[in-house]
Amino acid sequence: MASAVEQLAQNMNFGSIGKAKELQSRLLFVLMALVVYRIGTYIPIPGIDKTIWNEIFNTKGGGILDMFNMFSGGALSRMTIFALNIIPYISASIIMQLGTSMSKHLEELKKEGERGRTQINQYTRYLTVLLASIQGYGLAVGLESMNGAGGEAAVIDPGFFFRISTIITIVGGTMFLVWLGEQITNRGVGNGISLLIFAGIVAELPRAFASTLELGRQGQFNFLALVALFVMVLGVIAFIVYMERAQRRVPIQYPKRQVGNQMMQGQQSHMPLKLNASGVIPAIFASSLLLLPLTLVGFLGAQGGNGFIQTISRYLSPGQPIHMVLYGAMIVFFTFFYTAIVFNPKENAENLKKHGGFIPGMRPGEQTANYLDYVVTRITVIGAAYLTLVCLLPEFLIAEFSLPFYFGGTSLLIVVTVTLDTVSQIHSHLIAHQYEGLIKKTKLRGRR
């Protein structure tokens, strides 16, 4: 981890940020957008008795609700307009990406370039509205059935108007976050959707840290157990940094070529293949896919009104064997699925062939594509195992020792991965700014 941090520090010249005006404006835009997002997580849904809801969440929360609350940045525990966060959009993106591989129409749209991607994004937004409406209705019905310890209802005036207003509020909040995430991606630095989830998790980490210390003060953990916990967290972070920066470098050879009257010597290069090419996407997709059908189950099952629903909620709660098996299987599936989307062996083999490059010992074309597919498959197996281990092991420990869910592997994976990706993009902007400065100086010298 130390070497990775030192490398990042060497690559990142923070003093040059002061000279890059465009980068400053982009970072300022990201900061202001995240502030707007955090303000929205405190605007409550109309018609909710806040005192009763806080009592219900504190007594009935846990498992699925804590998992959902983590992705919403605490908005669910406060029952605000961003209670669903961007989970419906992520679920819609999963469905559209799966549909692209099964529908010829969507596959043709994907090949049309910018126009096709714009159309697919529009379909994704429509599907997001549909999913958010369904989840918003389930949320409204679940809230109407909830009562405090004294029998007081969580909803002040239940009925048709409350359900409609809740659906409109939830859909509006979700679509605003989708728009805000797109603006961050286009006008800021980093991936907007990932940064919104990142901001929500980071904002709740101090509270999770304080509640963990409170558990130690109450005697549920001794000093050594708390030290072991934080050592484990640091160890998981170091492991994530190491694995995220790990690469398999495939050697590439370019032959000698004639340029004018000169013979250019052959060049040696390499193709860097990341061990985890899919990043944090599999963990987010798997969590979202588990949360989508369990939203209504979590709310209705918490009341104990239906024994079957309560049983499902209990067995599918984080830390339970069935939940861990499903979660791990989804992570493995989405790791291979997303890697297949971002890396096409045949396309890369053709590009090498067009530019005269080849892998030593491999014939250009089909044999090179098969070799790249073989290498990517092997390293993806390791990447999928790494993601599964990081996401499931801390969840098991949290379920056993009742620690705050924000110390789970999924949350740490998102925080570390998004941080590395954002820092990398800032570095790219700085390099581009330095090249622009060199070009301007060269033009000025040429004019003299």
Instruction: Summarize pLDDT for 44-75 with one digit per residue, the tens.
Output: 999 888 888 888 887 765 556 666 777 777 88
> In degrees rounded to 5, what are phi and psi of residue 48?
-105, 135
Count CA within 13 A, CB hemisphere, residue 50. 8
In a domain, 244, yes or no: yes
Structure tokens at 150: 């004294």
Give CA–CA dist 427/430, Å, rounded: 5
What's the mean pLDDT in 108-113? 78
Contact between 429 and 20 under an 8 Å Cβ cutoff? The reply is yes
Task: Name the percent of the chain lying above pLDDT 90.
Answer: 19
Query: Sorting pLDDT into bands at 50, 70 and 90, what band is 16?
Result: low
> Would you state the pLDDT for residue 38?
93
Structure tokens at 334: 């989405």
Q: Which of 118, 94, 89, 95 is nearest to 178 (CA)?
A: 89
Rounded to two decimals, the pTM is 0.79
Task: Name the percent of the chain lying above pLDDT 70.
Answer: 78
Contact between 291 and 284 under an 8 Å Cβ cutoff? The reply is no
Give CA–CA dist 145/217, Å, rounded: 36
Give CA–CA dist 87/397, Å, rounded: 25
Q: How far apart are the first and last CA of the chain?
A: 49
Residue 372 scores a pLDDT above 60: yes
Contacts of 1 (CB under 8 A, 6+ apart): 237, 238, 241, 242
Give CA–CA dist 310/290, Å, rounded: 16
Query: What domain range is 128 assigned to?
Result: 2-255+266-441
Q: Which of 183-192, 220-229, 348-357, 425-434 has the highest mean pLDDT?
A: 183-192
Residue 284 scores a pLDDT above 70: yes
In a domain, 384, yes or no: yes
Q: Is 45 exposed, middle or buried (0-12, 13-18, 19+ CB in 10 A)?
A: buried
> Would you state the pLDDT for residue 414?
85
Give CA–CA dist 139/83, Å, rounded: 9
Contact between 36 and 126 under an 8 Å Cβ cutoff? The reply is no
Q: Where are the alpha helices (DSSP H) in 19-113?
A: 21-40, 50-60, 64-71, 75-78, 87-102, 104-111
Number of folded domains in the chain? 1
In a domain, 446, yes or no: no
> Would you state the pLDDT for residue 3?
46
> Would you state the pLDDT for residue 355?
77
In a domain, 308, yes or no: yes
In a domain, 419, yes or no: yes
> Would you state the pLDDT for residue 213?
77
Residue 216 scores a pLDDT above 90: no
Contacts of 58 (CB under 8 A, 6+ apart): none
In a domain, 89, yes or no: yes
Query: Sorting pLDDT into bands at 50, 70 and 90, what band is 137?
Result: confident
Residue 9 scores a pLDDT above 60: no
158-162, 296-300, 383-387: range with lowest mean pLDDT:
296-300
Contact between 182 and 196 under an 8 Å Cβ cutoff? The reply is no
Contacts of 417 (CB under 8 A, 6+ apart): 194, 240, 244, 279, 280
Q: Determine the longest span between alpha carbons in the chain, in angstroms.
A: 92
In a domain, 261, yes or no: no
In a domain, 346, yes or no: yes
What is each CA distance from 376 to 247, 315, 332, 387, in whole angstroms? 11, 35, 14, 16
Q: Name the residue with tokens 């525990």.
A: 77
The CATH number for 378's domain is: 1.10.3370.10
Q: Across-strand partners of 262?
A: 259
Give CA–CA dist 283/277, Å, rounded: 13
Contacts of 172 (CB under 8 A, 6+ apart): 81
